[in-house]
Amino acid sequence: MRTDVLGVAFDNVTMDEAVDRALAMLEEEGPHLVVTPNPEIVQRAAKDPEFAGILSKADLVIPDGIGVVYAAKILGRPLKGRVPGIDFASQLLERAAGTGKGLFLLGAAPAKDGQPSVAEQAAANLQKACPGLVICGTHDGYFKEDGPVIQQIRDARADVVFVCLGFPRQEKWIAAHGGET
């Protein structure tokens, strides 16, 4: 059962419960959407019905922000606690490392002046932090056409795709293309 906070329905989960649910999704068929709304995202959803609809259809909605937790408490519908998106992602990857599941990183700045892109740098850092983690691809967030990016993700046979394009662009991109990758 979800807890409504100003129109966004959150899963009432601890960090461990959220990671367990995400790992279980990896064993299921089809794409799954995990979102990490904070107070800014909740405010945006109130003004953007398309965005709100995407959040409501997500498979897992975790409370990323103490303001969300406080609001739920004030509304008389307390949540178990804050589940920061970055900590959730870190724990998910630590536990997924060594399973053979492939991660694709999409977003951030492109390569510049002979330096790797931010996504490539993040991939290298993640492989150091999570021995056994399979990074199957990266792509920066500065693209004009979706098709080639979708094809690259498909060709990489990614099990997990972290889309880091900033909200609401990332959620809208996933809603439009998640089933294609």
**Tens digit of each residue's pLDDT (9 = 90 or more) over 104-122:** 999 999 999 999 999 999 9
Please say if the pLDDT value at position 1 is more than 90.
no
Q: How far is CA 148 from CA 24, 138, 179, in A?
A: 29, 13, 15
Answering whether pTM is above 0.85, one says yes
User: How far does Cα 149 stand from its chain's mean position?
Assistant: 17
Strand partners, 105: 138, 162
Distance of alpha carbon 163 from alpha carbon 88, whole angstroms: 14
